[in-house]
């Protein structure tokens, strides 16, 4: 069974029409979730808490899409 991990994170953007964070050190990592429904609920909660700030955005990253166990490892993975 494939594990479908989702990361919910957000922060203040430089410009609300772009996806560049104002301060990368201040990114809010909400958490990692085992399914999209859980991640969506966490995203929605975080987004609602910051609804009054037009520069705040939260995102759901599909971590499971970044890793394919059948693909050969990258050179950086071979370092450790």
All domains of the chain in start order, with CATH? 6-65 (3.30.70.2400)
Torsion angles phi and psi, residue 48, rounded to 5: -65, -35
Beta strands at 28-33 and 6-12: parallel, antiparallel or unpaired: antiparallel
pLDDT in the model for residue 60: 95
pTM of the model: 0.78
Three-state SS for 7?
A: strand
Residue count of the chain: 80
Q: What angle (nearest 5°) sits at the alpha carbon of residue 37, between those of residues 23 and 44?
A: 45
Alpha carbons 31 and 35: distance in angstroms, whole number:
12
pLDDT in the model for residue 49: 95
pLDDT tens digits, the chain, 80 residues: what are they? 567 899 999 999 999 999 999 999 999 999 999 999 999 999 999 999 999 999 999 999 998 777 666 666 555 555 44
Write down the residue that tokens 């429904």 correspond to: 37
pLDDT in the model for residue 21: 96
């Amino acid at each position: 069974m494939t594990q479908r991990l989702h990361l919910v994170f957000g922060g203040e953007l430089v410009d609300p029409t772009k996806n560049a964070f104002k301060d990368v050190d201040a990114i809010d990592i909400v958490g990692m979730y085992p399914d999209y429904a859980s991640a969506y609920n966490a995203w929605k909660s975080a987004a609602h808490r910051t609804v009054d700030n037009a520069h705040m955005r939260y995102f759901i990253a599909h971590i499971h899409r970044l890793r394919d166990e059948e693909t050969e490892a990258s050179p950086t993975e071979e370092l450790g």
